[in-house]
Amino acid sequence: MNYKECLTEAMTLLAQDERTIFLGQSVAYPGSALFLTLEGVPCHKKIELPVAEEMQMGMSIGLSLMGYIPISIYPRFDFLLLATSQLANHLDKCAEMTHEEFKPKVIIRTCVGSTSPLYPGVQHCGDYTEAYKLLLKSVKVIKLSEPKEIVPTYLTALNDGESYLIIEVADLYECR
């Protein structure tokens, strides 16, 4: 299977867990390549959101505290920058701040934007993987470079007690 097919399989498997809910931009309606990987996710598990990245992260943390496992989708890594305050100051530190009383679990899905066939500009194809690895202490940061890593990584993220930031690479969606 190629990269995109593996992502589609992973999202379909995640959707089978009654606790998961998918939210973000281009979740219920087309608009990014990530949308195409959600065809196996039932409509009732999708929450389409406006461009409000920080609010999205706050909603994801809140849903997690209510027992859901949010799959919070940011179509471009550059968009996640706008949610970094919630990610670094709340999700990453909540368990420590509450002496483990509250430990939200969120799976954040983002993508390094494609640079071909059309170059989208520098604000749509940034890769901040190493910076987030340095910034986050409890949220696990994983970049998916090979199709064979995709399903096992997402299943581990679902079944592990930790939050994950999983970075995909758009240039691999149709290439492998």
Cβ atoms of 58 and 16 within 8 Å: the answer is no
Question: How confident is the prediction along the chain (176 residues), in pLDDT tens digits per residue?
Answer: 999 999 999 999 999 999 999 999 999 999 888 999 999 999 999 999 999 999 999 999 999 999 999 999 999 999 999 999 999 999 999 999 999 999 999 999 999 998 888 788 888 889 999 999 999 999 999 999 999 999 999 999 999 999 999 999 999 987 54
Q: How far apart are CA 85 and CA 73, in angstroms?
A: 17
Residue 44 sits in a domain whose CATH number is 3.40.50.970
Q: How many angstroms separate the CA atoms of 61 and 83, rounded?
A: 12
| Local structure of 52: helix, strand or coil | coil
Q: Which domain holds residue 72?
A: 3-172
As for how many domains the chain has, the answer is 1
pTM, whole model, 2 decimals? 0.96
